[in-house]
Chain A
Amino acid sequence: NAGVTQTPKFQVLKTGQSMTLQCAQDMNHEYMSWYRQDPGMGLRLIHYSVGAGITDQGEVPNGYNVSRSTTEDFPLRLLSAAPSQTSVYFCASRPTSGRPNQTKFGPGTRLTVL
């Protein structure tokens, strides 16, 4: 199993550009989520999904879109990047039933918006 994979690892954007952060998992996990990590703020939930076709907002959803067309993939879209979206983004997944300690995080994408 590859676990949770994220691409790209690093990205630099200009203000106003759009891009998609990719996240995939091969563990057949129903629940997937996106977090952003900023110094002194911990990890904050952006969006999450409990299964294909179902998504919901987290704490800080503004400026981000998600979709879940398959169990494996959960892309995060920035429609018009802003400097405030400079952060490290982590994707995570886990089964919806069973032991909660099965949550797995990806390696992260470091995004800089100029």
Chain B
Amino acid sequence: QQQVKQSPQSLIVQKGGISIINCAYENTAFDYFPWYQQFPGKGPALLIAIRPDVSEKKEGRFTISFNKSAKQFSLHIMDSQPGDSATYFCAARPQGAQKLVFGQGTRLTINP
């Protein structure tokens, strides 16, 4: 069963625009929410992460917004660039566990 739901499945954004990817989780208690970036032929790499006691975290052009009451979190990419074209995965870690539960992934294309 998929405990983390990610949308959209694919997204096309013009260069300079804002890319927004959303994730929602269900009843399980999670204590860590990372986002991974994956380029074709490569393994996922950690992009940015947030804990549930924080509502927003920003690193450069990448921002995570976290809404604990709605059980939702989102990735915003400001001033999107063609080099940002990749597949993005949200994930969540159950409390007390080592494993990660991943969303379905979003293929992002930034048009020049």
Contacts and interface: CB of A to CB of B under 8 A. Distances in A.
Interface of A: 4, 31, 33, 35, 40-45, 48, 50, 58, 90, 92, 94, 96, 100-101, 103, 105-108
B104 A42 contact: yes
Given A42-B89, A43-B89, A100-B49, A50 B44 contact: no
Contact of B103 (A42, A45, A48): A42
Contacts of B104: 40-42
Interface of B: 2, 4, 6, 9, 32, 34, 36, 41-46, 49, 89, 93, 98-105
Contacts of B93: 100
Contacts of B100: 45, 103
Nearest to A50: B98
B99 A100 contact: no
